[in-house]
Chains A and B, each alone.
Chain A
Amino acid sequence: MQLKPAKLINILFILFFAVVLPVGNMLGLVSVNSISLWGRYFCFAIAALGIDLIWGYTGIMSMCQAFFFCLGGYCMGMHLLLKATALQQQLLPEFMTWNDITTLPWFWEPFHGFVPALVLSLLVPAAVAFVIGYFIFRSRIKGVYMAIITQALALSMYLLFLRNETNLGGTNGLTNFKTLLGFELHKPGTKLGLYLVTLAMLCVAYGCCYKIVHSKFGKVLQAIRDSEPRVGYTAYRVLHYKLAAFVVAAALGGLAGMLYVPQTGIITPGRMDVKASVEMLMWVALGGRGNLKGAVIGALLVNCVYSYCTSVFPQGWLFILGMLYILTVLYFDKGFLGLFEKIGSKIGIKTNSERYATGSK
């Protein structure tokens, strides 16, 4: 049996992260912290997959992915906080007592159960995206306008979440989580488990996205990216397709946020400001737009560089990030994967993704 190089890369990726790292951890070679760090990167990679779907494949630049990420995160955070509060035999989370709130706000009620919280952290971002997306796409806002409107939305939601009156913890966000389904969050075993769950979810999300972009639906999305009016002329309901892509992307963002919160133990509005969303776009641009592997690789790569740089020379990180933005856009339009493919095709290797060449404008 002969393996295609692309499949081989996938299998190597999974083998490395699902077997080598955990075994290394059990042998004491890899610390729990770095395992947990990788778990967080996988969350970002899931969110990046969503961006790739909406931006790389559909050509819509959405600047509020971090907002959807945080919506999912807050849903999970509310559940964890309620559990922690119940464990301490209190009625209300601590920050509410400080804000003189006596009864639990109504929108906290559904988050007592684990399953409802799980479902809601996917449904809430999707529903919000549906409403916003419907109004945006209905009025045929696109291109730069779309980017600006979603950016303004991200900003105003960020400001809203900063307030104490929204009963979501204000600037400090939600923190002091204790347990998830009875497992204590700070224990190494739980961290390893969460890491593996996140890795599995990343694989599932990748698989789903792969199915989507290679289905007829995905082809229509790419057609919309390349020439929206023509798709409209051939009697496709462009609005429905764009809306569906936007909702799926938001749900992926929510999934990522949901997995992120138990691993970091905190979610604050700082995660959803405009910068965060633009950074997510950056991951995808750097890894390679219109290429699912590119999104994953970009997210992992930028975050690795981030962790490294902030610990070695914290002042320089913004310079590096800024230069990355500029260089990516100016010189490697298709990101790192595009660069590799270019080199590959020069020396005569045909990769899988090249055969499904996604010529973006």
Chain B
Amino acid sequence: MELLLKINGIKSGKWTGPKWLWPVILAGAVLFFAVRVATDSSGTYVQNLFSGISLGSILILVSLGLAIVYGLAGIINMAHGEFLMIGAYTTYSVQVFFTNVLHVQSSNWFFITALPVSFIVAGLAGLLLERLIIRHLYAKPLESLLATWGVSLILIQTARSLFGDLTAVKLPEMLAGGWRVNENLVLPYNRLFIIALTIVVIIALYRTLTATRLGMQIRAVTQNRSMSACLGINTKRIDAMTFFIGSGLAGLAGCAMTLIGNVVPDMGQTYIVDAFLTVVIGGVGKLLGTITAGLGIGIFSKVLEAFFEAVYGKVLILLLIMLFMQFKPRGIFPDKGRTAAD
């Protein structure tokens, strides 16, 4: 809990509301779910909850990068979903390389290699985008939305002409099968892996932001750009680094997504609107907000899907979000005090 409270703001430092509020809500939610899980004999409820958490963790992976870039520069990168696609295609390319060039039979090694490679490739693509286009648009958030949308069209079409319409990555042997809890309930390893990966990424990102020099500089620029520049921080370098990390995280998410789905040119589009909503609900540049919102949207979608059709679940979620924005227009964890001013 201490950790969660700390992650709360990369921008304003600490949650300044009543300290007991969020722990109590969290504990209540955990208790509620625990009771439901304990009384659930058929396993469908746990299954829904589980797929909700795994969907949520994908959303978190996608949104984290979006959130730190948005917190830093105030722009929403519409091409963020395409970095996810780049990560997925990198994984596919690594797989092809391993089987056709290196002739490695085991499907485990390629995936282990693909994780860092997809991070770096997507990160470099993001760096390129930042250098070429976004650098000129930091003062114009709405225009950058259009420009990055154009980038996303180009990237999708490029992927389509390079790789064709449908490719799939083999599931690594070590992630095949699942954890058999009881005869009704099997938790697939690939989804468990995604959840674990998300947790690792969150911790690593948190450590980077709080315990390294780069992280400190990122937080400083997020908080007050001109003051940081006065104190000798090279803000342009920080912008570029943040973009690298943000895009790299999307690439990692793409790599993880090859475990549960096909690799298609417009795969980024499926998740991107949800990721935007996650960032909006989470609040500007808040890690904890993004995490809570991602999990919330993920679990809500899956639980609602159990009652309604998937589409109605989605519409309902949007309505809930609009309702939520009536009360908390600046996200779950808004800035307090002077930084909150426009």
Contact = CB atoms under 8 A, between A and B. Distances in A.
B151 A333 contact: no
B175 interface: no
A135 B326 contact: yes
Given A139-B326, A144-B75, A144-B76, A318 B273 contact: no
A139 B156 contact: no
A318 B315 contact: no
A322 B150 CA distance: 4
Interface string B118-158: 00000000000000010011001111111101111110110
B200 to A, nearest CB: 28
A329 B75 contact: no
Contacts of B136: 330
Contacts of B70: 144
Nearest to B318: A156
Nearest to B143: A329
Given A329-B137, A329-B143, A162 B311 contact: yes
A66 B173 CA distance: 46
B76 A147 contact: yes
A317 B322 CA distance: 36
Interface in A142-162: 143-145, 147-149, 151-153, 155-157, 159-160, 162
Contact of A156 (B75, B152, B315, B329): B315
B interface, by DSSP: helix, strand, loop or mixed?
A: helix
B342 interface: yes
Contact of B145 (A61, A159, A322, A330): A61
Query: What bracket does the count of chain A residues touching chain B fall in?
Result: 35 or more
A319 interface: yes
Interface in B305-342: 309, 311-312, 314-315, 318, 321-322, 325-327, 329, 342
A322 B157 contact: yes
Interface in B253-307: 269, 273, 276-277, 279-280
Chain B contact patch, size range: 35 or more
Nearest to B341: A229
**Residue with the greatest number of chain B CB neighbours at <10 A, chosen from A149, A152, A361:** A152
B142 A139 contact: no
Contacts of A163: 309, 311
A329 B146 contact: yes
Contacts of B156: 318
A206 B314 CA distance: 37
B43 interface: no
Q: Which of B133, B141, B329 has the most CB of A within 10 A?
A: B329
B151 A152 contact: no
A163 B76 CA distance: 30
A321 B74 contact: no
A229 B341 CA distance: 11
B277 A321 contact: no
A152 B276 CA distance: 9
Contact of B153 (A138, A325, A330, A333): A325
The winner among B74, B137, B149, B156 for most chain A CB atoms within 10 A is B149
22 contacts: A139-B326, A144-B145, A148-B273, A148-B277, A153-B318, A155-B314, A156-B315, A160-B315, A162-B311, A165-B309, A274-B269, A278-B146, A318-B153, A321-B150, A321-B153, A323-B150, A324-B150, A325-B151, A326-B150, A329-B147, A330-B133, A333-B143
List of 7 A-B pairs having minimum Cβ-Cβ separation, nearest first: A325-B150, A322-B154, A322-B153, A318-B157, A329-B147, A322-B150, A139-B329
Given A155-B273, A282-B146, 16 more contacts: A132-B322, A135-B326, A136-B325, A140-B329, A141-B329, A144-B141, A148-B277, A156-B315, A274-B273, A278-B149, A325-B146, A325-B149, A326-B133, A329-B147, A330-B147, A333-B143
Interface of A: 61, 132, 135-136, 138-141, 143-145, 147-149, 151-153, 155-157, 159-160, 162-163, 165, 229, 274, 278, 281-282, 285, 315, 318-319, 321-326, 328-330, 333, 361
